[in-house]
Amino acid sequence: MPKPNQAVLDYLSTRISYPAKVMSGPVPTRDEVMAILQTALRVPDHGKLEPWRLVLIDRPAMLRLAGLAEARARELGGDAEKIEKGRGQFDRGNLAVAVISSPMPSEKIPGVEQLLSAGALCMNILHAATASGWGANWLTGWVSHDATFAARAFGCADGETVAGIIHIGTAAAAMPDRPRPDLGRILTQAPA
């Protein structure tokens, strides 16, 4: 008979994301971030391919990325809203980790599974940061999906994409829970 890990179940049943825009300093020290990331690396790596890489973004890098996002939005003919959405997470951010999906050639591991591995790493970073007592939020937005921005900001090569930008900091206040999916509405039974 399996023995449940009640502490983990309690954590998962109450975990929430703290919006990056309400997080502030302090942020984890470099050693604390390294511990969070080392914990998070216990992710499905699909045959030891490790089809991802990480980019640590501190406050000075945030300022550079905000400027890059604005410049790219202007190149695209973006309006004030697009510029704000691009700059916003970097203007307000203090510390983040970008997870770059970096698929490897493989006859055994399809590209979609490698992309899902990068997503699993994003979720693990979110869990490890939250379990360490920090607020954390997984963001994307147009900057994550724009290949030119990703190349300028994170050195993404052809085939690489930004799976997520995980912001980590001090949660400004307790966040109310949001409505959760209705399991009865989304679960079906596979036919026998």
pLDDT digits (tens, 9 = 90+) for 27-66: 999 999 999 999 999 877 667 889 999 999 999 999 999 9
Q: 146-164 pLDDT, tens per residue?
A: 999 999 999 999 999 999 9
165 part of a folded domain: yes
Q: Is 102 annotated as a binding residue?
A: no
pLDDT of the residue at 172? 76
Q: Is 186 annotated as a binding residue?
A: no
28 part of a folded domain: yes
Q: The domain containing residue 105 runs over which residues?
A: 18-172
Q: Which residues contact 16 (CB under 8 A, 6 or more apart)?
A: 175, 177, 178
185 part of a folded domain: no
Q: Model-level pTM greater than 0.75?
A: yes
Q: Is 185 annotated as a binding residue?
A: no
Domain count, the chain: 1
CA nearest 151: which of 102, 81, 111? 102
55 part of a folded domain: yes
Q: Is 17 annotated as a binding residue?
A: yes
The CATH number covering residue 96 comes to: 3.40.109.10
Q: Is 139 annotated as a binding residue?
A: yes
CA distance 116 to 35: 23
12 part of a folded domain: no
Question: Which element (helix H / strand E) includes 164?
Answer: strand 161-171
77 part of a folded domain: yes
Q: Is 138 annotated as a binding residue?
A: yes
